[in-house]
């Protein structure tokens, strides 16, 4: 595209275009990128030019087009922010800098780098939405040319597009761009499925081409007869949408009834409802399949009426009815609005009154409370990737939440203080558990108490990033000191192990490399196991790995049996047999007389090999022909295999005689701190509670923590819970759970 062609594109929708700005940006970017080439072999300048072309389709202003031309200059050429400011002004300089990634080598962790880049981008977006519009156009062109990228990078880029950029486009109401991003990403993430579904869709299109034209013609005639000016068009689901629906609804391709949909574009809101009435009086509508997003718009500003009817030849027909303005907003989202307004002093800014942008700004403010880039990345995905339900406060305020949200999420969406003080809820006037999944249209009333603090267990229940961040923040404050102290001990030991001295103040120098804001953040994350001490040492001493390899000698063989962890420590293990010695476990083996009631005859009985049950657990018996009866814990996921086979389920319960007590197998998993005596402490605690260790598997989770899976023998559930509780209190144990599977 030549300079004059770019100017012509912009002047076609903006008669007052600043031609000088576009020409200057075009020439500057072309000179700076010079002889650089893309992976495809094309001149690199073709990329910013294509990004600019995508934005002209959205009819964006010349400043945004100039930023598109310049967006890679600071990152990939010798251009500087000062130079951009001097030539194009500080406003364009700030936008270009907002699109510039951090340097790859500044951070130790790849995940931290990804999270920090996203944080910087979204903070720039909160100042000016045009940063996001350029970034999305940039990602769209990169996805269109992804075939030229090395194959090992494609899946990562496609996954990032699916998890971050496509949902961001959706949040901004840019459905057309979201659809294309998802489709391109899907073709690289799951190429075989994409190819199969595409083939099926093409075959279906050939088979139904007459029916589609018939439905379009019949709809047009009915609207014309009723004097409702309208354009009728058909659309076909993309392969990704088809795949997602098949997976979500557990349907085969042949069972899908809404692969084709039809769109009615009318002149006014009144015509929308007239068209809806005409459609419903002509054909029977499918109950529960009508959604009015005109009276209740989506959070991203989307408006339309959706309905499904039984149309010609008894075919299900999905319809969308909207005005031309609604259609423009549905396709281009915030880019379809009159975005820019005069802020005085010649400055141009974004109207905060646009719902989608105002909501995104609020989301970014909430996400900014995350203490690490990894956490920011996790919360952003939670906020962006889920579909929405709409609920109401008792006063009628609409709260939009992700699909699967609970009253706890609702409370935090109203206000953080409401969430922190939540103790119960009423849904549609009835007292309900706070973990109930909310449905569209629910009215939710939150019951509060000033003395309440959110339980840490809520974090695994909620689905919104705001709720999770607030709960995590509350929990973090309660345990921060404990983890900080543990982190300091881990670092002291780690530094000592490497022959170096640990000084807290030294961490200040490497905070940018670790993507942490304070020394306390580093210590706490080390204590939590979220930041390996190895990363801290490597950040302070970049060459220490080579030094360690040159000086470290392998550990001497000991005369006793032990296990070696990732930190190079050897622990004695009381009560654990040597490798090669057989250990009888009971779990899964046939047992002559398990004390269980509800079983008649002399059938052999055994425990499920996938996880032991102990007295006190709720249990279920499954009759297995030729094998006898297998006892499962009621919580076992293995029971799903027998769903619908009610004749094989046997009602059983424990029948323990105190005089004939015996031990039963149970499994626990814990994360232990790598410090001398840690394993001895764990083994002593188990032994002091009159329990036996039947088997143990250890794996180095990191230099600081070792994961242990321990098979125990216990008397009953209370015995097992007492052991878990005592182990959890030990400073050597970071986390501990019981494994049912």
Instruction: Extract the tokens encoding 227.
Output: 């004097």
CB of 422 closer than 8 Å to CB of 408: yes
Backbone angles phi, psi at 306, to 5 degrees: -110, 135
Helices assigned H by DSSP within 565-677? none
Q: Exactly one of 19, 75, 127, 163 is catalytic; which is it? A: 75
Beta bridge partners of 344: 347
| CA–CA gap between residue 135 and residue 47 (Å, rounded) | 12
Closest residue by Cα to residue 287 from 246, 320, 316: 316
> In a 10 Å sphere around its CB, with 0-12 CB exposed, 13-18 middle and 19+ buried, how is residue 116 labelled?
buried
Cα–Cα distance, 242 to 256 (Å, whole number): 8
Distance CA(524)–CA(99), nearest Å, equals: 31
The residue among 286, 339, 337, 278 whose CA lies nearest residue 308 is 286
Q: Which of 76, 183, 445, 675 is catalytic?
A: 76
Q: CB atoms < 10 A from the CB of 103, how many? A: 9
> Three-state SS for 37?
strand
Cα 510 to Cα 382, 496, 514, distances in angstroms: 29, 19, 6
Q: Choose among 119, 157, 120: nearest CA to 139.
A: 157
DSSP 477: H
The residue written with tokens 């068209």 in the block is 275
What number of CA atoms fall less than 13 Å from residue 99's CA on the CB side? Answer: 29
By the 8 A CB rule, do 445 and 391 touch? no
397's enclosing H/E stretch is: none
Q: Is 75 an annotated catalytic residue?
A: yes
Token readout for 484 is 């900080």
Q: Read off φ and ψ for residue 359, nearest 5 degrees.
A: -65, -40
Between CA 695 and CA 688 the distance in angstroms is 17
* Displacement of CA 188 from its chain's centroid (Å): 19
Phi, psi of 263 (to 5 degrees): -120, 130
* 3-class SS string, 246-315: HHHHCCCHHHCCCCEEEEEEECCHHHHHHHHHHHHHHCEECCCCCEECCCCCCCCCCCCEEEEEECHHHC
CB contact at 8 A, 671 and 529 = yes
DSSP string for residues in 202-263: HHHHHHHHHHHHHHHHHHHHHHHHTT--EEEEEEE--HHHHHHHHHHHT--GGG---SEEEE
> How far is C-alpha 643 from the geometric centre of its chain's CA atoms?
30
- The residues that are catalytic are 75-76
């Amino acid at each position: 595209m030549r300079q004059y062609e770019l100017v012509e594109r912009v002047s076609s929708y903006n008669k007052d275009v600043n031609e000088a700005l576009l020409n200057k940006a075009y020439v500057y970017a072309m000179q700076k990128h010079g002889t650089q080439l893309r992976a495809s072999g094309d001149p690199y300048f073709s990329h910013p030019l294509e990004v600019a072309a995508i934005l002209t389709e959205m009819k964006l202003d010349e400043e945004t087009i100039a930023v598109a031309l310049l967006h890679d200059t600071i990152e990939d050429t010798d251009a500087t922010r000062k130079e951009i400011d001097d030539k194009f002004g500080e406003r364009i300089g700030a936008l270009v800098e907002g699109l510039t990634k951090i340097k790859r080598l500044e951070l130790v962790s790849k995940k931290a780098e990804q999270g920090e880049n996203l944080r910087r981008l979204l903070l720039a977006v909160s100042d000016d939405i045009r940063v996001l519009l350029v970034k999305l156009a940039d990602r769209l062109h990169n996805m269109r040319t992804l075939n030229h990228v090395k194959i090992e990078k494609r899946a990562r880029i496609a996954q990032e597009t699916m998890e971050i950029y496509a949902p961001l486009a959706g949040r901004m109401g840019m459905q057309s761009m979201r659809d294309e991003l998802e489709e391109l990403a899907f073709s690289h993430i799951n190429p075989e499925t994409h190819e199969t579904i595409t083939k099926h869709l093409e075959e279906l299109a050939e088979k139904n081409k007459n029916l589609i034209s018939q439905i379009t013609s019949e709809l047009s005639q009915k609207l014309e007869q009723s004097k409702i000016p309208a354009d009728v068009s058909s659309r076909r689901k993309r392969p990704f949408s088809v795949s997602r629906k098949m997976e979500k609804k557990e349907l085969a391709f042949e069972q899908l009834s809404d692969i084709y949909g039809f769109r009615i574009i009318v002149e006014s809101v009144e015509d929308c409802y007239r068209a809806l009435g005409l459609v419903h009086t002509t054909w029977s509508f499918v109950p529960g399949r009508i959604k009015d997003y005109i009276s209740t718009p989506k959070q991203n500003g989307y408006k339309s009426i959706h309905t499904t009817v039984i149309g010609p030849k008894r075919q299900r027909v999905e319809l969308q009815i909207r005005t031309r303005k609604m259609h423009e907003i549905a396709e281009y989202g915030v880019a379809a609005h009159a975005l820019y307004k005069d802020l005085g002093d010649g400055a141009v800014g974004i109207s905060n009154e646009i719902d989608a942008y105002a909501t995104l700004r609020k989301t970014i403010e909430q996400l900014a409370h995350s203490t690490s880039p990894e956490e920011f990345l996790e919360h952003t995905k939670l906020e962006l990737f889920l579909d929405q339900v709409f609920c109401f406060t008792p006063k009628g305020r609409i709260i939009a939440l992700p699909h699967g949200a609970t009253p706890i999420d609702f409370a935090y969406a109203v206000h953080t203080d409401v969430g922190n003080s939540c103790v119960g809820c009423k849904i549609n006037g009835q007292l309900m558990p706070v973990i109930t999944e909310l449905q569209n249209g629910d009215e939710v009333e939150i019951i509060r108490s000033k003395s309440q603090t959110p339980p840490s267990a809520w974090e695994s229940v909620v689905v919104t990033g705001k709720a999770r961040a607030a709960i995590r923040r509350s929990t973090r404050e309660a345990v921060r000191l404990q983890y900080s102290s543990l982190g300091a001990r881990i670092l002291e030991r780690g530094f000592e192990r490497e022959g170096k001295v640990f000084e807290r103040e030294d961490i200040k120098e490497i905070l940018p490399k670790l993507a942490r804001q304070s020394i306390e953040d580093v210590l706490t994350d080390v204590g939590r196991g979220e930041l390996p001490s190895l990363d801290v040492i490597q950040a302070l001493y970049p060459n220490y790995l080579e030094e360690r390899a040159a000086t470290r000698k392998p550990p001497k063989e000991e005369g006793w049996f032990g296990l070696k962890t990732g930190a190079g420590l050897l622990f004695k293990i009381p009560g654990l047999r040597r490798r090669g010695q057989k250990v009888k476990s009971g779990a899964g083996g046939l047992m002559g007389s398990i004390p269980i009631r509800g079983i008649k005859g002399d059938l052999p009985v055994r425990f499920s090999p996938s996880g032991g049950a102990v007295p006190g657990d709720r249990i279920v018996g499954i009759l297995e022909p030729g094998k006898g009866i297998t006892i499962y814990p009621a919580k076992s996921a293995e029971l799903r295999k027998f769903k619908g086979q009610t004749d094989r389920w046997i009602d059983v319960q424990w029948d323990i005689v105190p005089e004939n007590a015996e031990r039963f197998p149970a499994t626990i998993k814990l994360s232990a701190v790598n410090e001398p005596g840690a394993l001895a402490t764990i083994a002593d605690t188990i032994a002091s509670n009159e329990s036996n260790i039947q088997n143990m598997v250890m794996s180095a989770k990191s230099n600081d923590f070792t994961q242990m899976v321990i098979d125990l023998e216990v008397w009953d559930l209370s015995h097992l819970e007492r052991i878990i509780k005592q182990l959890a209190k030990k400073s050597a144990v970071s986390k501990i759970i019981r494994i049912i599977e």
